Structure 1
Amino acid sequence: MSYQRFAKDVAIIGITQVLTSLGGFILLPLITKTLGAYDYGIWAQISITISLLTPMALLGLSMALVRFLSAEKNIEHIREGLYSIIVFVLFTGSGISFLVFLLSDLLATSIFGDIATSPYIRAGSFLILLSALDQLALFYFRVSRQTKTFALLTIFQSFGQFFLVLALLLSGFGLMGVILATLIVNIALFVVAMVRVTAQVGFAIPRFTYLAEYLRYSLPLTPNSLIRWVTDSSDRYLIGFFLGVGSVGVYSAAYAIGNLIQLFISPIQFILFPELSRLYDERKSGDVKVYLSYSLKYFLFIAIPAAFGLAVLSKPLLEIFTSTEFVSGSSVIPFIALAGLLAGVFQVIINITHLVKKTQFNLAIHVVAAVINVILNVLLIPMIGILGAAIATTLSYLAMVIICISVSFKYIKFDLHGDFIIKSIVASGIMAGLVYPLYPQEIFSLLLVVTGGTIVYVLVMIVFFRSFNYQELNMLKNLVMKRL
């Protein structure tokens, strides 16, 4: 894959992320304004419970699928490996979903603090199995580099959920309508994806020939996912314990906006890891370093100004996309945006440990971050409320980045572009200073402010700071012209 092809695929996934985030942005005010902080808090608790248990159903096999099948050419090996993983996860996911279904009353009283939430938990329990299966089906298209197919399926999932949620909410189904809409769309996504998969690789009852090898690689990653959940999502449980479900709703809405930074790393990481795996297996270490270095540079080029922009526009964003009861969460957004930026840096660099198969270091990094996160949450939430949870998340990710760099660079070291980072921070500060006095109060004025700020930042970076060389600008120009 040439650099141009890599950039082209990243652009496709980037556009997909913009469209899906647009769907999510439209969905956020729809749900928050219809359900209110309390019911939205319940939905947030269900969502993070699903995000906790889905990795337990997957047992890290989604990453094994990417790592072992990215360079595979034999169609029989691909078919055997793919169906072995899908069938195995079908059993593990079903078991976990059924267990949550049976324990719904206990979870409702002990975690959600309201027995009335039990029916929602029972309905949502099936999302654990479906989320795991959907992830595997989509990862097949990632492995086989069918970027356009992946993009279309992702857009279908996002907008399908939006329109179905809208229909059920207008029909008076409330929170149960949100859950049912998500279930229906996830089922449809898996069916459509598997029809496409079967057409390409055929169907066969798996013999589980390679499953033991996959599990040896993936099982050490499973605790990482669970412990990563502690860093990412356990604050919602602790907020619920200390402050109540209503505060969970306020925090979750602010978190959803601040965490938009993570969208910028998704298209890069989606293409990056399979390509790095192929290059590393072909012993092209120089190309590995180039891909890592420029992936980080282009992510930071977008993420740093986005973090500044989210920080200065935090309050108007909440006013526009939610209701007045959520505006108190505006102080959370700057910290979550910074945490998202740090998370993106971490995701680029942690690829190194996967390439050299030193995944045991991942566990240590996530454990340290999780411990820091829980301790700080317990200390700060009672003192300063939901802001304490946001600060705890930011400091946890800072620790992850520092440790990750110190460990990963022992095996593969690449340019972090320190000068570029300083220029981007200065340019973002200039942009933020111009944007801050403006206070958009509706979507159109918000778009004008964001567009103006983007133009200022790009001009400062390219014209005044000359942050990109001629070859980089020429490659981007050619990419844009080809897309047009």
Structure 2
Amino acid sequence: MSSYKLIKDIGIVGLSQVLSSLGSFLLLPIITKTLGSYDYGIWAQISITVSLLSPVAVLGLSMGIVRFLSGEQDLQRVRETFYSVLFIVSFAGVIISTMLYFASDFLAQTIFGDPTTSYFVKCGSFLVLLLAVDQIVLFYFRIFQKINTFAILTILKSIGHLIVTIFLLYLGFGLLSIIISLVLIQSTLFIISMYFIISDIGFSLPRFQGIEDILRYSLPLTPNSVIRWVTDSSDRYMITYFIGLSPAGIYSASYGIGNLVTFIITPLQFILFPELSRLYNRGKHAEAAVYINTSLKYFLYAAIPASFGLAFLSKPLLVIITTPEFASGSTVIPFVAASGLLAGVFQILINITHLVKRTKFNLFIQVFAASLNVILNLFLIPLYGIVGAAIATFASYLLMVLICAQVSFKYLRPDIDWVFISKCVLSSFIMCSFLFFLNSDDLFSLVRNVIFGALVYVASTLVLKSFNQQEQTMFKHALTKIKQKL
């Protein structure tokens, strides 16, 4: 893949993620200001329950089709594999959604601590099915580099969810507005996606030919999603158990803001893994290592200042976009932002174990991190509340990165540029020193300070000569081509 196409594709996916994040970001203040911390806490619990079960329904097959279909030219094999996987995931999604529906009374009584929430759990139960099949169809566009289609669908999903939720809230549907909106948007997204896919490859009933190899690769990844959920989301359950739904809502809102750092990795990872699979399958291992190193470098260039900025502006950011009731969550954001940075590093490095088909190491890493997370939460939440949960998350991700590097570097070792990373950290400190003298009392001043901080950071990295001459030439060449296209 040429540097121009790589930068262009990452730019398109990145732009779609920015607009998608903007939709989610705008939805947060609307929901928190309309519903309050208690109802937002209920939605947060439903959301993390669905986020636990939908990856189980996927059975690791999303990564399987990326690994096995990347670069595949045989249309019949593509069609057979895709529809076989889609059928299996749909079947698993129906079963798990049905189980969640009938378990709603028990969950409302035990996990949510409020029997009246059972109705909302029932309404949201089939989101498990919708999110599972949505992941498979969107991965089709990822595999075959249909970046524009993916970007449009991603934006439509986020903006559509925002508009429909606002409309339903206006009509007085309350908490149910979020659930109904998501069901409608996910269903519409699936129908549109299938229209494009059928137009590309046609349609045929699955015969499950050759699916054994993909299942053998993918099924060991299924526990990873559950264990990863323990690291990412189980703290909401424990917060609810120890200190209630309102603190869980405050923590979830703060976590959502701090976790914005992880959106930076999405465009990189979207392009990276299919490209790495193609290179590795062709025996170009050294070139694959260069791609990993470059992706890590560019991710950290954006993620380090984002983490510093979110930590520095955490309190005004939370107060402005939510209500004073949520202000106590500002102490959570620095830990979550740092965790998001570590999560991005982990996602890049873990690609190595997928390339060499050593997916059992993923399970090993996830189990260690999840176990530490649970143990720390049990001790820290009763002592320090939601801050204790944030500390536990940070410690778990730090462990994941350290173990992942130790394991994956045995197979493929990228050349990490520590001098570059140091310059990014120094530039972030310079950025924050300027922000210290600026007020962020309202939305306008906050946006102004974010833009000013970004400019100071970029200027600092240029003064420090963070990028070498070859990289500067590559960027200039790519930008020139983009301008010519425009």
TM-fit CA distance, 1:433: 1.5
1:253 is aligned to 253
1:338 is aligned to 338
TM-fit CA distance, 1:434: 1.3
Write the letter of the residue equivalent to 1:476.
F
TM-fit CA distance, 1:455: 1.1
**TM-score (norm: length of structure 2):** 0.98
Once the two structures are superposed, residues 436-484 of structure 1 have per-residue CA deviations (whole angstroms, 9 ceiling, x without a partner) of 3323122221121011111111111112x10101221122223233334
2:180 is aligned to 180
User: In the alignment, is the contact (CA less than 8 A) between 1:28 and 1:321 conserved in 2?
Assistant: yes
Please give the alpha-carbon distance, in whole angstroms, between the structure 1 residues aligned to 2:346 and 2:3. Answer: 22
Once the two structures are superposed, residues 106-159 of structure 1 have per-residue CA deviations (whole angstroms, 9 ceiling, x without a partner) of 010010111100110001001000000111110000001001100000001000
1:31 is aligned to 31
2:291 is aligned to 291
Please give the alpha-carbon distance, in whole angstroms, between the structure 2 residues aligned to 1:63 and 1:281. Answer: 15
2:93 is aligned to 93
Structure 2 unaligned residues grouped into runs of 5+: none
Write the letter of the residue equivalent to 1:366.
Q
User: In the alignment, is the contact (CA less than 8 A) between 2:3 and 2:478 conserved in 1?
Assistant: no
Please give the alpha-carbon distance, in whole angstroms, between the structure 2 residues aligned to 1:6 and 1:119. Answer: 46
Please give the alpha-carbon distance, in whole angstroms, between the structure 1 residues aligned to 2:255 and 2:437. Answer: 23
2:475 is aligned to 476
Please give the alpha-carbon distance, in whole angstroms, between the structure 2 residues aligned to 1:298 and 1:76. Answer: 37
1:318 is aligned to 318
- The residue correspondences of 1:120-159 to structure 2 (distance < 5 A) are 120-159=120-159
Write the letter of the residue equivalent to 2:473.
N
Once the two structures are superposed, residues 68-108 of structure 1 have per-residue CA deviations (whole angstroms, 9 ceiling, x without a partner) of 11121100000000000001111100000001101110010
1:5 is aligned to 5
1:329 is aligned to 329
Write the letter of the residue equivalent to 1:466.
K
2:160 is aligned to 160
User: In the alignment, is the contact (CA less than 8 A) between 1:318 and 1:327 conserved in 2?
Assistant: yes
1:466 is aligned to 465
Write the letter of the residue equivalent to 2:3.
Y
Once the two structures are superposed, residues 205-230 of structure 1 have per-residue CA deviations (whole angstroms, 9 ceiling, x without a partner) of 01001222111000110011110000
- The residue correspondences of 1:401-412 to structure 2 (distance < 5 A) are 401-412=401-412
User: In the alignment, is the contact (CA less than 8 A) between 1:52 and 1:229 conserved in 2?
Assistant: yes
1:233 is aligned to 233
User: In the alignment, is the contact (CA less than 8 A) between 1:313 and 1:436 conserved in 2?
Assistant: no
Q: SS in structure 1 opposite 2:233?
A: helix
TM-fit CA distance, 1:286: 1.8
Q: SS in structure 2 opposite 1:64?
A: helix
Once the two structures are superposed, residues 185-211 of structure 1 have per-residue CA deviations (whole angstroms, 9 ceiling, x without a partner) of 000000000011001000000100122
Please give the alpha-carbon distance, in whole angstroms, between the structure 1 residues aligned to 2:352 and 2:30. Answer: 40
Q: SS in structure 2 opposite 1:357?
A: coil
User: In the alignment, is the contact (CA less than 8 A) between 1:54 and 1:129 conserved in 2?
Assistant: yes
Q: SS in structure 2 opposite 1:174?
A: coil
For residues 447 and 480 of structure 1, do their structure 2 counterparts lie closer, same or farther at Cα, with a shift above 3 Å needed? farther
Once the two structures are superposed, residues 220-265 of structure 1 have per-residue CA deviations (whole angstroms, 9 ceiling, x without a partner) of 1001111000000000001010010101100000000000000000
Please give the alpha-carbon distance, in whole angstroms, between the structure 2 residues aligned to 1:444 and 1:268. Answer: 30
Please give the alpha-carbon distance, in whole angstroms, between the structure 2 residues aligned to 1:439 and 1:397. Answer: 32
TM-fit CA distance, 1:374: 0.4
Once the two structures are superposed, residues 254-289 of structure 1 have per-residue CA deviations (whole angstroms, 9 ceiling, x without a partner) of 000000000000100000000000000001112101
Once the two structures are superposed, residues 292-350 of structure 1 have per-residue CA deviations (whole angstroms, 9 ceiling, x without a partner) of 01100000000001100000100010011101100100000000000000000011100
Please give the alpha-carbon distance, in whole angstroms, between the structure 2 residues aligned to 1:173 and 1:33. Answer: 15
Please give the alpha-carbon distance, in whole angstroms, between the structure 2 residues aligned to 1:204 and 1:14. Answer: 34
User: In the alignment, is the contact (CA less than 8 A) between 1:305 and 1:425 conserved in 2?
Assistant: yes
Please give the alpha-carbon distance, in whole angstroms, between the structure 2 residues aligned to 1:107 and 1:100. Answer: 9
Write the letter of the residue equivalent to 1:187.
S
1:359 is aligned to 359
2:439 is aligned to 439
Aligned length: 483
Write the letter of the residue equivalent to 2:399.
A
Write the letter of the residue equivalent to 2:414.
F
Q: SS in structure 1 opposite 2:94?
A: helix
CA RMSD of aligned residues (A): 0.8
Write the letter of the residue equivalent to 2:337.
A
Write the letter of the residue equivalent to 2:70.
S
1:277 is aligned to 277
Please give the alpha-carbon distance, in whole angstroms, between the structure 1 residues aligned to 2:313 and 2:125. Answer: 36
User: In the alignment, is the contact (CA less than 8 A) between 1:316 and 1:439 conserved in 2?
Assistant: no
Please give the alpha-carbon distance, in whole angstroms, between the structure 2 residues aligned to 1:396 and 1:436. Answer: 30
Please give the alpha-carbon distance, in whole angstroms, between the structure 2 residues aligned to 1:73 and 1:453. Answer: 46
User: In the alignment, is the contact (CA less than 8 A) between 1:232 and 1:393 conserved in 2?
Assistant: yes
Q: Which moved more, 1:270-279 or 1:423-432?
A: 423-432
Write the letter of the residue equivalent to 2:102.
L
Write the letter of the residue equivalent to 2:479.
V
2:72 is aligned to 72
Once the two structures are superposed, residues 41-72 of structure 1 have per-residue CA deviations (whole angstroms, 9 ceiling, x without a partner) of 01000010011001110110011011111121
Please give the alpha-carbon distance, in whole angstroms, between the structure 2 residues aligned to 1:272 and 1:193. Answer: 22
Once the two structures are superposed, residues 382-409 of structure 1 have per-residue CA deviations (whole angstroms, 9 ceiling, x without a partner) of 0010000000000000000000001000
Q: SS in structure 2 opposite 1:341?
A: helix
2:370 is aligned to 370
| Large movers: runs of 4+ above 6 Å | none
- The residue correspondences of 1:102-113 to structure 2 (distance < 5 A) are 102-113=102-113
Please give the alpha-carbon distance, in whole angstroms, between the structure 2 residues aligned to 1:283 and 1:226. Answer: 33
Between the aligned residues of both structures, percent identity stands at: 55
1:221 aligns with 2:221: yes
Structure 1 unaligned residues grouped into runs of 5+: none
TM-fit CA distance, 1:161: 0.3
Write the letter of the residue equivalent to 1:317.
L
**TM-score (norm: length of structure 1):** 0.99
